[in-house]
Chain A
Amino acid sequence: MKKLIAILAVVLLMTGCSDARVKVTSSSTTLLTVGTEKITKGEIFSSFMNRYPSEAVMTMATKLILAKEVPVDAAIKAVADEKLAEAKEKWDDEFEDFLSAYGYETEQEYYDKELIVTAQTDALTAKYITDNYDTLIATYKPRKIRVIQTSTQEKAVAAIKEIKEGANFEATATKYSSTSYKGKEQIVTTESSLFAAALTFATGASVPTLSTAIEDATNKVFYVVQVTVADPAKFKDEILTTLNSDATFQKKAMLSFFESGEFTVYDKTVYDEFKSYYAEYLNQK
């Protein structure tokens, strides 16, 4: 019976366990002493943890992903070199001021912390898109389309008639389009910002086709959509370029690598901040 009570006592003690909070080693090391008060490494670390450490964790985790997936090689350096040359040409005599305005003390710091990291991030997105190309195509349905937006249904119908009779799409757009939709060919995906019904028509097309007048009753306008290329295989390179520069896919890429890297947080402060600000990057329960 005594043994049982002892076991129960140990088990009950476990209920006192709290959430994990990390500490630095040698936290009692004194950095400086003011009068009789010691300012320790542990105290400074606590103040760091009070000031949104999740941002730094995000940066560190991203660096580790970049280092593993797209290490700095000649190709990455070449991209960074090109961007550096562009920046120098653009800012010319004011290049030093430009660096200073963005918080970089030296050109090397700008190169390492900005240009190399950006080149790696772009390469990471490209890697994600290439590795998941078939799935992404099936999910986001890229199509090449042209769009006209008119203020009345009559204008939309007239435009459709002229296009069917062989009129140039862009010329017809210039004639009927009331806004910035000038009929230029563009690539869209299911994530693009276009009136929903027009986008659904475009991404749902399996062959080149021309829509009827699509009404946007809220904004009292009509769309005419022409799908010029419905087979993504015919413009793969353009798709890669388009998706790579799209912030939506850059984020999807990063999220994917956080998930595959089994990103796990072991500190409650950082965990709670991630829940608040970067919830989609957390996969642990």
Chain B
Amino acid sequence: MVETLKKQWFVVFIAFLLLCTVVYFVYDQNKDKLPGKSVGGKDIVFEINGTDVTADELYDELYETSGIASIYSAFERAVIEQAFEGDKDTLSAIKLEAEELTANTKAQYEQYYGDGYEEYIASALKANGYGGFDDLNLYFTNSLKIENMVKTYLDANMDTYFPAFNTALKPRIVNYVVIAMDDPDKPTEEESKHLKDAQEAWAKGTYSFEDFAKEFSEDGAASTGGYLGYFDFNSSTENGGNYDNDFSAAAMKLTDGQVSPWVKSDFGWHLITVKTGLEALQEEDDFYSALASYKVEETHIRSSVVWAAAQEIGVDFHGNTELEAELKKYMNLDEAE
């Protein structure tokens, strides 16, 4: 053996060098890796004062604080992904909108957070029960699907939900004209002239509202005939919304198709018209959002939609009645549902 080694000393030397290199390489690759620990087949998360705390114990602790919320996230996602029944056009529209939302969100996060933006998106998605950055499109797709499911449900149950909502919030679709002024109480000569010209043109009675808005209105909505969109009692700043109080008050006074007199707001002078019919409202996604969230504690529309869809595809708690009751309680569902 010794003789062989002596004869093959060069080969032995090379082999030794190779071994050393590999050992160093392995050390270098692993030196920053966090080692794990297992006791009795159970993974240990941490230890302190010699006490090992297992992943099972951490699961129990976390279950107590956020378990049912996580289970609901997984439950809702499973329901949406299996129960959504959209036709080809709906699916195609959802796909397009999800792609647009995904691209916009990425752009916004990148602009705000810079190079590390993916991490922030991943973090937000994880908080909503998704795996990470790659699930952004899936998140929007599922959000649009549940929105669509809620819409379908509300359309089928409009008689139940709409009357009280209509009485309380007086929903409407608003179109408007604005003759813009920096300070409507002290208009410039040019601003006053614009207003006078507009008022005289409207007084002739020859314009439709949309055509008048296209020709005279002075903001970005002019090109769409002054389209503002969904509006209700809660839209004014005094009721928690974003719109000027004087503008809102005038818009809320109108009946279907009526046009307001000239109204002054902080932004200038306006003409306003509204549509209050259910058919017009049903064209607006914001109408469904407002209806779905109206008195949500009493109606739990989203929960009802998810639960009803789950019943259709089948849900099995494998005899765990406690979990079933807990989930229903979390969803604000009656025991009877």
Which residues of A are in contact with B by a Cβ distance under 8 Å?
A: 1, 4, 7-8, 11-12, 14-15, 17-25, 30-37, 39, 41, 43-45, 47-48, 50-51, 53, 56-57, 59-61, 64-65, 68, 258, 261-268, 270-271
Contact = CB atoms under 8 A, between A and B. Distances in A.
Given A39-B74, A51-B70, A11 B22 contact: yes
Interface in B232-284: none
Interface stretch (B36-44, B157-165, B197-205): B36-44
Nearest to A284: B34
A213 B33 CA distance: 57
Contacts of B49: 64-65, 68, 261-262
Given A32-B317, A47-B129, 8 more contacts: A12-B26, A19-B34, A20-B43, A25-B41, A50-B131, A262-B49, A266-B34, A266-B47
Contact of A45 (B33, B44, B55): B55
Contacts, number: 183
Contacts of A23: 43, 55
Interface string B4-41: 00000000000100110011011001100111110001
B34 A271 contact: yes
Interface string B47-84: 11111010111110111011100110111001101110
A8 B126 CA distance: 40
B46 A20 contact: no
15 contacts: A22-B58, A23-B55, A35-B78, A35-B313, A39-B74, A48-B58, A53-B58, A60-B58, A61-B46, A264-B48, A265-B46, A266-B34, A266-B35, A267-B36, A267-B45
A213 to B, nearest CB: 49
A34 B44 contact: no
A51 B73 CA distance: 13
Contacts of A32: 71, 75, 315-318, 320, 323-324, 327
Contacts of B74: 39, 43-44, 47
Contacts of A271: 34
B314 interface: yes
Contacts of B327: 32
B48 to A, nearest CB: 4
B310 interface: yes
Contact of A65 (B29, B48, B79, B316): B48
A57 B45 contact: yes
Interface string B282-321: 0000000000000000000000000000100111111010
B58 A57 contact: yes
A64 B53 contact: yes
Contacts of B25: 12, 15
A44 B71 contact: yes
Contacts of A21: 36
